[in-house]
Amino acid sequence: MTMRVPRHIAIIMDGNGRWAAARGLPRIAGHREGARRVRAVCEESAQLGVEALTLYSFSSENWKRPEDEVTALMELARHHLQLERQMMLANDIRFRRLGRRDGLPAPVLAELDRTEDETSSCRGMTLCLAMNYGSRQEIVDGVRAIAQRVRRGELEPGAIEESTVSAALGTHGLPDPDLLIRTAGERRISNFLLWQISYAEIFVTDVLWPEFTAETLQAAIADFGARRRTYGGLEGPAAAR
């Protein structure tokens, strides 16, 4: 039996700090281990034929964390962008950044831009990295862009539709996520892709992100494949009730 694979998978990567604390290690050790898990998940997703994979790396609220942790996270991001570019090219993965540029350190922005540029001709899976990202901010930015189009006379207010809003978001051109995975047993959306996950199936696992493997991903996809998706309608015997 062929496994039904989501077109777009979004992952809230949680549990790095708890993984480190359980081992008597500093939090950054958990973040380092978590960053190493990204490669296997990207490669497995690409091989399975997933069209888009979006990873929640650093939220707009994460700036509230201790300064030394934020600095270490930014350096970790810069290092892994350099490290994983060859993996992306080898797997025909196109990279896309989500989130506001303002506030990100210049060296991190340079690596984000370089990775987008060097993978721009790839035609396989799209990997979206949400950094300095908040969904409410994304929607506000999209609404502002639409308002500017109206102001310039390019768009009539009455012509604004759901597709107009979708096209103004960072995920424009990609299918909405079919599957949202959250690790470490947390059951919150955490301001992540609020518009895009309207009909996503949600899979919560107690596995901490540094322990997330290709097999964990396969289990989530198998669970997704067993679900009946009706998008608010009725299907099969339920339609007669």
DSSP 65: S
Structural element, H or E, at residue 69:
helix 67-90
Least Cα distance to 47 among 110, 13, 3, 85 occurs for 3
Instruction: Please count the other Cβ atoms lying within 10 Å of the Cβ belonging to residue 14.
Output: 22
Q: In what order do the strands lie in the sheet with 52-59?
A: 94-98, 126-133, 52-59, 8-12, 179-182, 201-204
Which residues are designated catalytic? 14, 62
Least Cα distance to 92 among 125, 118, 115 occurs for 125
Name residues whose C-beta falls within 8 Å of residue 17's C-beta, 6 or more positions apart in sequence: 27, 30
* Residue 166 tokens, joined: 């979708």
